Structure 1
C-alpha cells in the first residue's frame, strides 16, 4: 500500500513538474560605444527552484565582476548590466535557467558601434610624431 502511494506521488509530482520557459529577448542589439546595455531574463513557467547563469560567447560569466553586474530581481528574474559598453563587449550574451526538470536559454547578439579612442596612446603617438616625446 505504501509503495502504491509512493508511485502515485512520484507520477503526480512528475505531472506537476515543468522545465523552465523563458520570455523571449531580442535576437540582436546595436548600441553606441559608452552606452548602457542590459538584458532582463524572465521565467514564464516552470517548477521552482531555478538557477540562472549568464554566458558571453558561450563562456560562463563569473559573478561578481568589475565590468558588469548581475542582479537577481526575484526567484524568476535575473538582470545583466554593462554600465558602459566597449567594442570588446560585442558578441553573444545568453541567459540560461535550469531546474530539476530541464533548462531554457535565450540569447542576444550585441554589436557595439562608434569609435573607441585611447587618449594616452593617441597623445603618445602624436608627441612621438612631433619628436617631443
Structure 2
C-alpha cells in the first residue's frame, strides 16, 4: 500500500490549485520577438514574422500600427505562415509606412504581444504647404509648413529681404517645437512681404515653398 505523507499532500494540493487557476493548466500564448525576414529599404519588399513560442492552438494573430489595426491594402498583405506564426508583408515599403508595429497573439486562455519600430529613410514629403495670406493689421498670423520623413526633417522659415533670403529669428516670431508651425502676433507693416519654408533631412531632394503675407488696413 502506497503511503502519502503530509508534505506530498501539500504539493499535490498546490499543483491542483495552480491548474485550476490557469484553466486546467492550458497554455496562454507567449509571443517571441518579431523577425525581420528582409531588410526594409525604400521601394523594396519588407517581411515581418510574428511567432508564438508557446500557446495552445488555435492561435489568432492581429497586427496594428501605432494603435490602429493594420488592414490589407494593395501594398500590405497578412498571411498565415504556419499554425504558430503570421507574416506581414509590405510591398513596396516607403517612409509613409513608418511606425510602431505590434502583433497580438491570442487563444482561449489569454494573449500576449510583441512590437517592432519601423523607420524607413526617405526624403521629406509635404503634408500641408503654406498659402498666400491676407490678414488685417494687428491680427494673428498663423502659418503651417507640415512635412513627414525619416530621419525627422528640419524646417527653416525665411523671409526675403531685398534680394536675400534670411532665416527668421524665433525671438521675433513664435515657432513650435517641431519647427513646422509659425505664429506672428499683432501683425504690423514690418510683417508684410515674401516668406519661404525650407525643409531637409539629409536625403535629397529637399523641399522649398514660398508664400506672401499681405497686411490690410495699414495706416
Structure 2 unaligned segments of length 5 or more: list them.
1-18, 126-219
Of 4, 20, 27, the match for 1:18: 27
Once the two structures are overlaid, the 10-residue window that deviates more, 99-108 or 14-23, is 14-23
Distance in 1 separating the partners of 2:87 and 2:40: 17
Q: Aligned with 1:115: secondary structure?
A: strand
Q: Aligned with 2:23: secondary structure?
A: helix
- Post-superposition Cα deviations, 1:17-61, rounded to whole Å, max 9, x if no partner, equal 1110111136xxx83311221110111101122111010111011
> Structure 1's 67 and 92: CA in aligned 2 closer, same or farther, altered over 3 A?
same
Larger RCO (alpha carbons 8 Å, 6+ apart): 1
Q: Which has the larger radius of gyration?
A: 2
- 1:86 lines up with 2:94 in the alignment: yes
The number of residue pairs the alignment matches comes to 108
> Structure 1's 53 and 104: CA in aligned 2 closer, same or farther, altered over 3 A?
same
Taking structure 1 as the reference length, the TM-score comes to 0.69
Taking structure 2 as the reference length, the TM-score comes to 0.43
Q: Which has the higher helix share?
A: 1
Q: Which has the higher strand share?
A: 2
Of 107, 125, 132, the match for 2:115: 107
Distance in 1 separating the partners of 2:104 and 2:96: 22
Distance in 2 separating the partners of 1:12 and 1:85: 45
Asked whether the 8 Å contact 2:42–2:95 carries over to 1, the reply is yes
